[in-house]
């Protein structure tokens, strides 16, 4: 009896293992993208039939927003293995990675693709689920298939790949959590490009290397990426750096794309994760694009398995480099005096009369392909830097009422303390001197740029319950080091994607109190008599500025702003830098 039960059990097991789900991409001959329901069913069946190979990621904060994510290999993060996080459909109209990952899982379950024991894969099947449900065949006029696909923005009409510092969307906060909690070593974000026409089916955007920590930069730029290019070439996929060119032709080269921390890849860089953005070419067939994405995923996974120990070592060295770093750099600009030559496979371009306007229009002649070396400008220089303080102090009123931007710091992965009682400390206080604001809203905000500040040491009344974020901490030095770069990019107002620049504290830019001229005239006169140094400063300014000398209202306003009646909070940044006294 037992023998028959055993045979039956083995038979059922074999039958179960034979049930490898078929993807919509396969059944359609490479023309269709799976719907959200079809994606969900595929992964559920795969996890049910192969529980030892693929499992649901057990993380409710993620599942509640992104649906179920899946793990190939070991379930939990481990410092000795290389975790690769694959994110699909952040732009839901660019679904190549969705179907490529289903093919990857299929090959893995069939045994046609081996997963090294040193590698753990996390797959986000569909990141922008709301956009993915908003399906059509017309939202991407420049894209050749699939037959139907999702929309770029989410339900809030936000481009999620611009949201990673302001964190307006719940999807963003979920991926932030994954990037910190699951400790990936490599982050792969799958996209479809726009812009010029060329022969390459697939290109690769690597996070701009100059802003990486030095150990990571040297390894990725000099070892990892050249090897990935070589391996893909051996599979007949000639890679190119992402073609960051949107005007005429890329024949004369282009500047490397700069991914500030608003982008998922730039955000990942803050945590010393290696970010790779897969960009297939929009005019290639859907079958070509998905197949190319699959090959790049496999190539990267194989590389990580072979070199896991070295990759982990480099990440640890980068963490140590960040922990020891004193100066941090912002607002990087391309150095157009420096460039490398790269081989580019393009098409000869020309101009012909437009059938619509009759004016000259650009076209690419695919009967005239070429291969030539072009200039790749991939060296950037920072315009600004700051010296890291020992800690930042965020008043409770500002921190607790900014649930979106500060969500990652509010989680259990943030490292903070609270003042237990009121106190007075000498702190570095920023005053906002100048900035430029966009005229039209950008991703739901009137974004500030070119922000300039003045720093002064002042005694500040800090209240019980205010938050302390230490950039170095004996109690939790590892966690503090992980968040160090992120804190600076978030809390330094001159950083391009800072809390201030995304309108986090615009209320401080408005003066709340004023004066009636006829009342303040007498107060101002008395104040100048009692403060001759202020009177002298006013007289000197009148001698230098003849327009000011003739403007009584401007002079009265100047006195007001140099008097004790003028509120001290106008243009004062409400987060303070704390440098401990030695």
pLDDT tens column, 47-58: 999 999 999 998
Q: Is pLDDT at 22 greater than 90 in this prediction?
A: no
H, E, C per residue of 174-222? HHHHHHHHCCCCEEEEEEECCCCCECCCEEEEECCHHHCCHHHHHHHHH
Of 233 and 324, more confident: 233
CA angle 256/257/258 to nearest 5° reads: 110
**Strand 448-462 versus strand 423-437 pairing type:** antiparallel
**pLDDT tens digits, one per residue of 519-566:** 999 999 999 999 999 999 999 999 999 999 999 999 999 999 999 999
Per-residue model confidence (pLDDT) at position 229: 98
Indicate if the pLDDT at residue 577 is higher than 70. Answer: yes
C-beta separation of 260 from 380 below 8 A? no
Q: Is the pLDDT of residue 8 over 50?
A: no
Give me the chain's average pLDDT, please: 93
* pLDDT for the residue 474: 62
Contact 194, 272 (CB under 8 A): no
Per-residue pLDDT at 476 exceeds 80: no
Summarize the confidence of residues 163-177 as an average pLDDT. Answer: 96
Q: In terms of Cα–Cα distance, which of 478, 563, 576, 481 is closest to 528?
A: 563
pLDDT the model gives residue 582: 65
Residue pair 93/290 in contact (Cβ under 8 Å)? The answer is no
Rounded mean pLDDT of 134-162? 97
| Sign of CA pseudo-dihedral 448, 449, 450, 454 | positive
Whole-prediction pTM value?
Answer: 0.93
Superfamily per CATH, domain 18-321: Zn peptidases (3.40.630.10)
Question: Which of the 8 DSSP states describes residue 572?
Answer: B
Quick check: 86 and 9 in contact, CB under 8 A? no
Confidence of residue 10 (pLDDT cuts 50, 70, 90): very low
Q: In which band, very low, low, confident or very high, does the pLDDT at 86 lie, cut at 50, 70 and 90? A: very high
pLDDT band per the 50, 70, 90 thresholds, residue 475: low
Q: What percent of the chain has pLDDT over 70?
A: 95
pLDDT digits (tens, 9 = 90+) for 232-288: 999 999 999 999 987 789 999 999 999 999 999 999 999 999 999 999 999 999 999
**What average pLDDT score do residues 484-499 get?**
96
pLDDT digits (tens, 9 = 90+) for 492-521: 999 999 999 999 999 999 999 999 999 999
59: confidence class by pLDDT, cuts 50, 70, 90:
confident
Predicted local confidence at residue 12, as pLDDT: 43
Model confidence at 71, pLDDT cuts 50, 70, 90, reads: very high
Supply the pLDDT for residue 444: 97
Please determine, for residue 14, whether its predicted confidence score (pLDDT) is greater than 70.
Answer: no
Cβ(279)–Cβ(193) under 8 Å?
yes
Q: Where are the domains of the chain?
A: 18-321, 386-509+573-578, 517-561
């Amino acid at each position: 009896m037992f023998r028959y039960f055993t045979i039956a059990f083995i038979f059922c097991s074999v039958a179960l293992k034979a049930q490898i789900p078929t993807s919509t991409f396969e059944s359609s001959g490479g023309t269709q993208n799976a719907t959200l329901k079809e994606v969900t069913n595929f992964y559920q069946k795969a996890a049910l039939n192969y529980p030892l190979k693929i499992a649901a990621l057990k993380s409710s904060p993620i599942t509640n927003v992104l649906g179920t994510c899946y793990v190939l290999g070991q379930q939990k993060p481990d410092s000795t293995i290389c975790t690769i996080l694959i994110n699909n459909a952040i732009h839901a109209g660019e679904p190549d990675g969705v179907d490529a990952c289903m093919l990857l899982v299929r090959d893995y379950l069939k045994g046609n693709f081996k997963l090294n024991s040193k590698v753990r894969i996390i797959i986000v099947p569909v990141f922008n689920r709301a956009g993915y449900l908003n399906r059509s065949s017309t939202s991407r006029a420049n894209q050749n298939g699939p037959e139907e696909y999702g929309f770029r923005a989410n339900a809030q009409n936000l481009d999620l790949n611009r949201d990673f510092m302001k964190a307006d969307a719940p999807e963003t906060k979920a991926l932030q959590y994954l990037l910190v909690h699951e400790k990936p070593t490599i982050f792969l974000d799958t996209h479809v490009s726009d812009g010029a026409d060329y022969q390459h089916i697939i290109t690769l955007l690597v996070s701009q290397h100059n802003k990486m920590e030095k150990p990571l930069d040297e390894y990725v730029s000099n070892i990892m990426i050249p090897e990935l290019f070589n391996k893909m070439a051996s599979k007949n996929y000639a890679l190119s750096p992402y073609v960051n060119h949107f005007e005429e032709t890329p024949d004369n080269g282009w500047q490397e794309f700069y991914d500030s921390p608003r982008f998922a890849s730039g955000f990942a860089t803050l945590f010393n994760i290696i970010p790779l953005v897969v960009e297939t070419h929009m005019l290639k067939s859907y079958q070509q694009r998905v197949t190319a994405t699959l090959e790049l995923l496999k190539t990267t996974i194989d590389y990580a398995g072979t070199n896991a120990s070295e990759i982990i070592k480099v990440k640890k060295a980068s963490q140590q480099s960040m922990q020891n770093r004193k100066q941090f750099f912002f607002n990087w600009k391309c150095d157009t005096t420096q460039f490398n030559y790269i081989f580019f496979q393009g098409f000869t371009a020309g101009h012909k009369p437009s059938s619509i306007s009759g004016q000259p229009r650009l076209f690419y002649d695919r009967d005239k392909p070429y291969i030539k070396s072009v200039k790749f400008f991939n060296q950037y220089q920072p315009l600004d830097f700051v010296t890291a303080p020992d800690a930042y102090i965020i008043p409770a009123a500002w921190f607790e009422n900014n649930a979106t931007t500060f969500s990652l710091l509010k989680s259990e992965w943030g490292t903070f303390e609270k003042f237990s009682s009121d106190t007075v400390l000498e702190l570095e206080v920023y005053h906002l001197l100048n900035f430029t604001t966009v005229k039209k809203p950008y991703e739901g905000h009137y974004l500030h740029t070119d922000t300039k500040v003045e720093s002064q040491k002042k005694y500040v009344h800090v209240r019980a319950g205010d938050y302390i974020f230490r950039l170095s901490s004996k109690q939790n030095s590892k966690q503090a080091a992980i968040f160090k770069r992120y804190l600076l990019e978030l809390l330094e107002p001159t950083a391009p994607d800072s809390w201030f620049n995304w309108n986090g504290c615009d209320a401080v830019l408005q003066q709340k109190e004023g004066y009636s001229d006829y009342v303040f005239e007498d107060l101002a006169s008395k104040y100048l008599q009692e403060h001759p140094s202020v009177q002298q400063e006013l007289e000197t300014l009148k001698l230098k500025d003849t327009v000011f000398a003739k403007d009584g209202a401007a002079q009265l306003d100047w006195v007001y702003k140099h008097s004790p009646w003028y509120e001290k909070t106008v243009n004062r940044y409400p987060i303070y830098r704390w440098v401990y006294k030695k």
